[in-house]
Amino acid sequence: MQERCRRLSKNVPDIHKLNIRTFNSFGYLVNRHCSENELHVAFEGDDEAAKLFFQEKFDELFLGDKDFHKKAVNFLAFFHRPERDQFDFQTKNEFSRHEASFKNISLDGKKLNSREEVQIANFFCLHGIQYEYQKHYPLQPEDRNADYASYHPDFYLPDYQIWHEHLGIDREGNVPSWFSVSPKHATAKDAYHAGILWKESIHAKYKTTLVKTYSFENREGSLLSNLKKRLLKHGVVFKQLRPDEILGLLKQSAHYKDFIELIFTFLGLMKSNRRALESLSTGILDKRFKVFLDVFKPLYHLYEERLRERSELDFNDMINQATQYIEANQFKKSFKYVLIDEFQDMSIARYKS
C-alpha cells in the first residue's frame, strides 16, 4: 500500500513523509517512544507459539495443581459446548442442525447423538468404566416388531451386564414438541412412554439389568450424581484415574485443541475490548462461563507473568498501552492527517487509539 501510494502521488509535496502502518505496528511505535523499558513483541508475533505456551502451562497445572485439575476436567468433559435444552427447539430439523454444529464426541473418541449422552460417556471414561454405545440387544422372534428398528439401548456396561437408557423427558413426563408421533398413538408423549414401557418389559422378561436416567436430571444438575448412585447399587466399581491418565484422555479428545483455541481467542477479545479479568467475574449468571473462567484465570496470570518478566507486549497490549500514552499526551509525534482503512471493523481499543 505504501509503494502504491507513493507511486500514484509522486508529485505531491512531502509524499516521502507518508507513514503507513498496521494498528499493531503503530502501537509498537508509540510504546517504543514512550516506554522507559526496551520492549519486545511477545512470542515474536507468532500466534502458534503463544498457543503452545498455553498448552504447556495447561499441562503443568493439570498435573501439579489439584484445584486446577478438577476445574479443567469439569469444563472439558462436561461444559465444552454451550448448554441448550432439547425442549427449547421447535422442530426436529432445528435440533439436528444445532447438534450438527458441535462435536458430540466423547473423550475416548466415540461419536454420540447429543450433549447429554457425551456427558454420560465422559463420566464412564473418567471413572474407568468400560462401555459400549448403542449395542444391539438381541430379541427372540416373538418380541421383534417389523414396524420398528432393532433395539439398541443407549449404553451397555459389559463388565457388569448393565444396560442404560437415557430418557428425554421432563419431570412431568413431557417430551419435546418436535418428537415424532406414531400412527398408534395420539401424541408424541404417548408414543414415547409406550416405548419406555416396552423397554422395561423386555428387560423384565429377559431378566437383564436396566438403569435409567432422565433429561430433567441434567437440567436440575443431578444427572451424573444420580447415575453414580444407581450404578453403585448394582456393584459398579468406580476407579480413581491418575492425573496423567486423564490428561492423556483429554489430549487425545476432539476438544483439547479447540479448548486451547478458545483460551487464545478469549484472551484477544478480552484485551481488545479493554476488559479487566476481575470485571468479568462480577455477577456471572452463565454457569458455563463461570466454569470457563475458573480454568482461564490461572493460565492468564501465567501468560501475563511471562510478558512482564521478558518486557514483552502482545498485539493487544501494543494498542491498549499506546492508547493510554496518547490519552496522557505522552506521545509527542504529531500527524496532520490520519486515514484509517476499514474503519467500520474497528475494535473498541483501536477506536480509542
Closest to 68 measured CA to CA, from 308, 291, 279, 304? 291
pLDDT at 328 over 90: no
pLDDT at 73: 96
pLDDT at 145: 78
pLDDT at 344: 64
Instruction: Supply the CATH classification number for the domain 83-244.
Output: 3.40.960
Residue 213: helix, strand or coil by DSSP? strand
Quick: pLDDT tens for 271-305: 988 888 888 876 677 889 999 999 999 999 999 99
pLDDT at 76 over 90: yes
pLDDT at 185 over 80: yes
pLDDT at 171 over 70: yes
pLDDT at 353: 53
| Residues 6+ away with beta carbon under 8 Å from 95 | 86, 89, 176, 178
Closest to 252 measured CA to CA, from 105, 35, 60, 75? 105
| Greater pLDDT, 151 or 345 | 151
| pLDDT, mean over the chain | 89
Quick: pLDDT tens for 47-72: 999 999 999 999 999 999 999 999 99
Band (193; pLDDT cuts 50, 70, 90): very high
Would the pTM of this model clear 0.85, i.e. be above it? Answer: no
Closest to 114 measured CA to CA, from 168, 158, 60? 168
| Residues 6+ away with beta carbon under 8 Å from 144 | 150
Closest to 173 measured CA to CA, from 154, 193, 191? 193
Q: In the chain, what are the domain boundaries? A: 2-39+315-352, 83-244
Answer for the pair 226, 213: CB distance below 8 angstroms, yes or no: yes
Pairing of strands 162-167, 155-157: antiparallel
pLDDT at 3: 78
Mean pLDDT of 301-321: 91
Helices within 11-46 (DSSP H only) = 23-34
| Residues 6+ away with beta carbon under 8 Å from 286 | none
Cell numbers 441434567 correspond to: 218
Quick: pLDDT tens for 28-43: 777 777 777 778 889 9
pLDDT at 6: 74
Quick: pLDDT tens for 329-349: 887 777 777 777 777 666 665
Q: What is the side-by-side order of every strand in the sheet holding 132-133?
A: 132-133, 155-157, 162-167, 209-214
Angle between helices 66-78 and 243-252 (to 10 degrees): 30
pLDDT at 351: 63
In angstroms, the CA 101 to CA 173 distance is 28
Percent of the chain whose predicted confidence (pLDDT) is above 90: 60
Q: Which cell numbers hold the place of 274?
A: 479493554
pLDDT at 283: 67
Band (16; pLDDT cuts 50, 70, 90): confident
- In the DSSP assignment, the letter for residue 150 is P
In angstroms, the CA 265 to CA 267 distance is 5
pLDDT at 313 over 90: no
